[in-house]
Amino acid sequence: MAVDIKSLNHNQLNDLINKAQQRQNELRKEKVAKLREKIHALIKAEGYAFEDIFGHARTTKGRRSGGTVAPKYRNPADPEQTWSGRGKRPRWFSDALKAGKKEKDLAI
């Protein structure tokens, strides 16, 4: 199927390019799916599970889940205000440092 691209106008040419790229992506996805099936079949034929070979899939892309961190500093004026020492300094912490207190004075 030969297409004479010299006879196409700008819009027709862009449409052809978009359709070709879509088809290329479809073919790639089909090839990947077939390869995945072959790999799973080979692993199963050898008597193993996918996890035995590749381990468990990482759902967080290698990052740890964001758990809570114990607070390291407490506001002496309001003991309910605490800070873990991570992230941006709270205003009360910065104000206390400007007032002459030291980090160790605010530590829990």
Digit-by-digit pLDDT tens for the chain (108 residues) are: 688 889 999 999 999 999 999 999 999 999 999 999 999 999 999 999 888 888 876 655 666 666 788 999 998 888 899 999 988 999 999 999 999 999 888 898
Position 2 in a domain = no
Residue 105 confidence (pLDDT): 87
Position 63 in a domain = no
List, in sequence order, every residue forming a beta bridge with 73; answer none if it has no partner.
Answer: 83, 107
Q: Does one domain contain both 48 and 80?
A: no
Residue 72 confidence (pLDDT): 93
Distances (CA, A) of 36 to 28, 50, 62: 12, 11, 23
CB atoms near residue 71 (< 10 Å):
13
Residue 76 confidence (pLDDT): 86
Position 66 in a domain = no
Position 61 in a domain = no
Position 17 in a domain = yes
Residue 61 confidence (pLDDT): 61
Q: Does one domain contain both 44 and 78?
A: no
Residue 57 confidence (pLDDT): 67
Q: Return the residue matching tokens 């990947």.
A: 32
Q: Which domain holds residue 42?
A: 8-54
Q: Does one domain contain both 49 and 78?
A: no
Residue 14 confidence (pLDDT): 94
